[in-house]
Chains A and B, each alone.
Chain A
Amino acid sequence: MKKKGLTRREFMKATAAGTAGLAVSSLLPAKTAIAQPPIKMGFVSIFSGRVAMLGETGLKGAQLAADEYNAKGGVLGRKIEIIHRDSAGKIEEAVRIARDFVVKDKVDFLMDHSSSREAFAVKEVSRDLKIITMVTASETTDHTADPKIWTPYSFRSARQSIHDCCVSGYYAAKVSKEQGLTRWYSISPDYAYGHDSTERFFEFLQKKNPEAKIVGQLWPKLFEPDYTPHITKMLGDKPHAFHSALWGGDLVAFIEQAIMYGLFEQCKFFSNNTAEPPVLKALKKIPEGLHTGSRYLRNVPDTPANHDFADRYEKKYKESPTNWSQEVYSGMLFLLEGIKKAKSLETEKVIKAMKGLKVKAPWGAPDMDGYITMRSRDHTNIGYAIAWGRTISKEPYVTDLYYLPWSEILKEEEEYLKKKGWL
């Protein structure tokens, strides 16, 4: 005769099965009833041609940050997704891509990793479409400092040339006093960045060492392949030292050509951009004793956090991080932490959360306790480590590091902005 209802054995089996099921399902990734859409970021940059490195290494920085956050469950329970497109350096393309990102792909945020010229045009898109844009490559001070073009939707995580120039000027003043370098030359690319950095550098140099005199300035066009006539002119005028804002491939070509003329033995070289991994990698033999700033170096600052970042990046991509990777990574930190703080993706809330936001970054300056800050007043990054030093031919490639306290840098910046009438 069949018994009605559950036997004890059946009941126990059912309970066991149910408990096992619950236990197993608790180990599975939590799946909410409605899948959370990812946080979409639209990344526009240059991935082809001469400055393909800009986009490629910048994207790697973004991807690293996204992967690290996603591994911890994303932000607000949502994964981060990056869509990236190549503007090929054409301004209308950068604008079109930025617009399409917002209008067609419906991204939540724009990562504007385009060159400083395109960035001005993309800024108009941010203003027009009211989309939060993280500017990660443009170092031109005007971008956040000029009130006439400022917009609350635009945030800059890239370094600013005024900060770099302040440190470079102070350092050069110190060295020039020590070594009696009074006759100065400059060779910088003939465009806004080249002019601005050189002008600021000399301003700060001469402020701290009035003995320094400019005896000549050269402005080869950007991407000029041949610096021989410039080098020979400099040799003829015999300066004690010279400054250069040349960067990347241009700097490599210049150094190779200058070595042949023995220029560095005759004149001391000061350049912001020598100690960058791509430049160091390209130069077969790194001349010693060149004075250089740091863009990204794993020993600036020489902290475990920074070395760890470089290791993580190298492990994933088999190459060293560049300044661009770092700037984009900072941008991601600001944005994602801002979203976390705002507990929302709403534009106004995120803007409010990012104003004055402090995040711990591998390259936070030693005197800022390792924090970088998104300044509330103008939405730009401050507190990143900047150091100058002398090159040596083996790791870590730069030695005798000199830092300037950020209190000093900010003071000089304020003075500069007041002079310009922007503050």
Chain B
Amino acid sequence: MKKTIFWGSIIAVILIIFPFVYYSKFMINYLTQILIMALFAVSLNLLVGYTGMISFGHAAYFGIGAYSVGILLQKYSSNLLGSLFLAVVFSAIAALVIGFFCIRLGRIYFAMLSLAFAQIIYTIVVKWTGMTGGDQGLIGGIPKPPISLLGLSFSIGTPLNFYIFTVILVIASFVICKFIVDSPFGAILKTIRDNFLRTYFIGIPVKIYQLVIFVIAGTFAGLSGALMALFISGAYPDFTYWTKSAEPIFMILVGGMGSLLGPILGAAILNLLTAYITMYTHLYELVMGTVLVIFILSLKKGLADYLLESERFKRWSSSLAKKKPSRIGLATE
């Protein structure tokens, strides 16, 4: 636990100092976007990779977080942190309600029902023009009032400040997620993933665990959505559409579902690919599709999984710990 906080802080500090060492507006924007999407992907992986619950409707919470923070700041509030907090709470509530219905079903049907609910939320968002701006979304920009804490004022209106704000929130979220998956609660999630029936038979209330992790995942998704809305200064119905739910799935698949690093890697890779492909061609779909096909057929698993499960890595990491190399088995964290 202490180790995680330690490493988390180091990474956060490095990320924050980075632009002071090498200032590039492009890098700041880029890193901010990757961090937000990485959080979205990590939140989904709590479900997919750790609990074996494949959700196709994760965008619902991303969207609710985005719209909530946008509507609150545009119309009702000038307290940035308060609005952000409420937005996250709303996502959590939505996850609780939707999760309650979805967890009653097994794998495939769970996925489909989560998709159905997300599409219903999409329809509500698009039709409720008075509140959400309808299919045009929240236009006109989302105000970013300065945060006053302990007598100091911090404005996230500049790209650099927003980046720092994002780094702090996202890395903190990653640290919390790491606690969760490394804790006894997390261990039970993994047994649910590996053998649902057996876990049930040893007396564990599986459904409750599933609901809890569903809500936690939805909460972090809501946070990532709220950050995205602040980043691009708007919220749009696309944020709740099924294509948005597919994005973190791709990141998890490409990066690896066996760890928290996987989705982060996946987010970075896919964002980088998209940025570079669109710079050189209009045939983005062809190139991206081909890359994905080659990737799936050669690796057959996410990049982080591939690396972490490779013999070389296992030997290296156990030699670091000065332990005997473990038997070939499940890749542990």
Interface residues of A (CB under 8 A from B): 47-49, 55, 84-88, 90-93, 95-97, 99-100, 103-104, 116-117, 120-121, 123-124, 127-128, 140, 142, 146, 148-149, 190-192
Contacts and interface: CB of A to CB of B under 8 A. Distances in A.
10 contacts: A48-B284, A55-B282, A84-B282, A91-B137, A100-B29, A100-B275, A103-B25, A117-B137, A120-B140, A192-B135
Interface majority SS (helix, strand, loop, mixed), chain B: helix
B135 A117 contact: yes
Interface stretch (B102-110, B175-183, B226-234, B320-328): B226-234
Interface of B: 25-26, 29, 33, 134-137, 139-141, 228, 232-234, 236, 238, 274-275, 278-279, 282-285
A96 B33 contact: yes
Given A91-B232, A192-B134, A149 B141 contact: yes
B232 A149 contact: no
A417 B134 CA distance: 21
Contacts, number: 80
A4 B300 CA distance: 87
Most buried by A among B33, B284, B285: B284
A86 B282 contact: yes
A127 B157 CA distance: 12
A190 B283 CA distance: 29
Interface majority SS (helix, strand, loop, mixed), chain A: helix
A85 B140 contact: no
A116 B234 CA distance: 14
A156 B51 CA distance: 50
A121 B278 contact: no
Contact of A86 (B33, B135, B136, B278): B278
B139 A120 contact: yes
Given A91-B234, A127-B141, A192-B136, 7 more contacts: A91-B137, A92-B232, A96-B29, A117-B238, A120-B136, A124-B232, A191-B134
Contacts of A86: 278, 282, 284
B234 A120 contact: yes
Given A117-B135, A117-B136, A192-B136, A95 B26 contact: no
Given A117-B137, A120-B234, A124-B232, A96 B275 contact: yes
A120 B141 CA distance: 9
A233 to B, nearest CB: 20
A121 B237 CA distance: 12
A160 to B, nearest CB: 16
A148 B141 CA distance: 10
Given A92-B228, A149-B139, A103 B233 contact: no
B232 A85 contact: no
A103 B139 CA distance: 23
A170 to B, nearest CB: 27
Contact of A91 (B29, B236, B282): B236
Contact of A148 (B29, B140, B282, B283): B140
Contacts of B25: 103-104
Most buried by B among A92, A97, A104: A92
Contacts of A190: 135
Contact of A124 (B134, B136, B234): B234
A192 B33 CA distance: 28
A85 B134 contact: no
Contact of A97 (B135, B278, B285): B278
Nearest to B238: A91
Contacts of A121: 137, 139, 232-234, 236
A262 B256 CA distance: 56
A191 B236 CA distance: 13
A100 B282 contact: no
Nearest to A44: B278
B332 to A, nearest CB: 35
A100 B234 contact: no
A25 B291 CA distance: 52
A103 B26 contact: yes
B149 to A, nearest CB: 25
B4 to A, nearest CB: 30
A195 B134 CA distance: 11
Contacts of A127: 141
A346 B232 CA distance: 26
| Nearest 10 A/B pairs, CB to CB | A149-B140, A47-B282, A120-B139, A124-B233, A103-B25, A104-B26, A191-B135, A95-B232, A192-B136, A86-B282
